[in-house]
Each structure stands twice: as C-alpha cells, then as structure tokens.
Structure 1
Amino acid sequence: MPQYSQHSFGLQLALLSRAWRAELDRRLANLGLSQARWLVLRHLSVMKSPPTQRELAQIVGVEGPTLARLLDSLESQRLVKRVTVPEDRRAKRVTLTEQARPLIEQIETIASQMRSEVFVGIAEEDVRRCEDVHERILANLTRE
C-alpha cells in the first residue's frame, strides 16, 4: 500500500473514532452519561464476576486514576459500588447496582439505534471485511 494511503487510512480511522464517540456522547447526554461512563457500565453488565478496579481499567483501556474518576462519578449516580476484597483490603471489586440495569437497557437501545443509522447502505460483508482489517492492524500494533 502506498505511504499516502496508509497515512490517509490512519487519519480517517482517528476521525471516525472521534466522530462516533462525539455522536454517542451527544445522544447519551440527557442520561447524564458519556461514552466513557457507558463503556464502564457495558463491560460490567456482561462480565460473569465483578472485576477489581485494576482489572476493569485494563479491560476498558484506561489508566487507574482515570477509571477512579469515572467510578467516583458513577458511584455518585448510584450506578456502581466498590466492595473491598476480603483477601486484599487495598483492592476493590466493582459491581453494578440494581439502579444501573434499566439505564443500561436505555443505553443499549440508544446505541443500537445509532448503529442502525450509521451502517445504513453498508453491506454486512463490507463490515466484516473492515473488522478483519482492523483485527490485523491491531495484531500488528500489539505484537512484541
């Protein structure tokens, strides 16, 4: 692939990511949530057991202090709680509250509607091909 095309691809990817996040933030604003907060709630909602803060930070892909601020905010909204791990008092497990469940359903509905609108006119095969390319690029980036 020519150097210019690779540069253009990376730039488009960055712009797409930023635009996607901004649109989702706009749609979630009336719920008092941003994509960052939604992402934390989403991960917690699909995990089999409550992760520690450190595990959740790795899964979400943020630094510990960033996650701590997100959790402070979600805790003040009574959507998550942090529970001390008996075998390590310094560690905290993060759990969803019952109040979070209906909100997560609302978020999923909003996100699903957005995806439906964003993918209009794009063939499923094209989406799969794009995912394959993204996976290969990610593998190249994370290869040691």
Structure 2
Amino acid sequence: MRLPPNFGLHLFRASHLWRRAANKVLADSGFSASAITPLMLLAELGDGLRQRELAEEMGVEGPSLVRVLDGLESAGLLERREDPCDRRAKTLHMTDAGRHLLVQVNEALNDVRQRLMAEAGEADVEACYRVLSIIEANAKREQT
C-alpha cells in the first residue's frame, strides 16, 4: 500500500477544520469541543470510567483533564465519585443535565457532520469511518 506523502498533513488539517466547525456551532452552548469531548466519551464508553482512563482515551495529561472536568462538574454536567475498588481513584458519571446537553450538542453537531460530508456518498463515509478506526486502533497499540 502506498499512501500519498502528504496523507498525514491532510488528516491533520481535516481534523483541525472539523474541530473549528464544531467549536463554532458549540459556542452557543458555552462549551468548546474539548469541553464536550469527555461527555461524548462517557456516553460512548459508559459511566463509571476512571479519570485516568478518560485522559488516556482523550490523549491528554491528567492535570489538563482535571481543569475540564472541574468545569463540567461545576456546571452540573458530571459527577466524580470514589472508585469502590480504589479509594484514591475517581470514577466519572454523567448527570441528567449532562445527558440532556449531549442530546442538544449531538443534534447541532449532526448538522456540521452533514454539511462537511455533503459531497461524500454513503460508501465513502463508511470507508472513511473504517480507515479512521484502523488508524485509531493502530495508534493506540503503538502507544502501549
């Protein structure tokens, strides 16, 4: 398989522009994509995720995530609870308000997804999703 030499650059730019479009839409909610991402991951991976696990999933350092989680907790969108298996660790749980906000955010972001992928056919979108999933899985494997 031969990749175009600028494949990574295109991936980086597409990610940056996607995030910018998402942030523009999210501005009305008072949150950025980086602030909403923990809620999206909790919805995908399930309540009760440890802070450390969430930081790994997001590819950020613990202290950076703590500031974001503090804001989400202050806004009443998530709760930190003592981990029953390890009292030093905290688990994360989305509140009803967090779930409600996430529904609204996903509706707004769906419009962004539809606009940015408008010229792509269904098969293109499915192939793109598969390729991105492969890249993500391989990159995670390399980090461990």
Normalised to the residue count of structure 2, the TM-score between the two structures is 0.85
**Count of aligned positions:** 141
User: What's the CA shift string for 1:21-53, capped at 9, x where partnerless?
Assistant: 011011101111111121111111233441111
Q: 1:130 aligns with which of 115, 118, 128?
A: 128
User: What's the CA shift string for 1:107-138, capped at 9, x where partnerless?
Assistant: 01011111111111211112233334444545
Say whether the 8 Å CA contact 2:47–2:94 is kept in structure 1: no
Kindly report structure 1 stretches of 4+ aligned residues shifted beyond 6 Å. none
Which SS does the other structure have where 2:82 is aligned?
strand
> Structure 2 vs 1, CA of residues 50 and 129 (structure 1 numbering), >3 Å: closer, same or farther?
same
Which SS does the other structure have where 2:96 is aligned?
coil
Normalised to the residue count of structure 1, the TM-score between the two structures is 0.85
Which runs of 5 or more structure 1 residues have no equivalent in the other structure? none
> Structure 2 vs 1, CA of residues 87 and 123 (structure 1 numbering), >3 Å: closer, same or farther?
closer
RMSD: 2.0
The percentage of aligned residue pairs carrying the same residue is 38
Which one-letter code corresponds to 2:11 in the other structure? L
Equivalence for 1:22: 20
Equivalence for 1:82: 80
Q: Which has the higher contact order (CA 8 A, sep 6+)?
A: 2
Which SS does the other structure have where 1:94 is aligned?
strand
Equivalence for 2:109: 111
Q: 1:61 aligns with which of 42, 49, 59?
A: 59
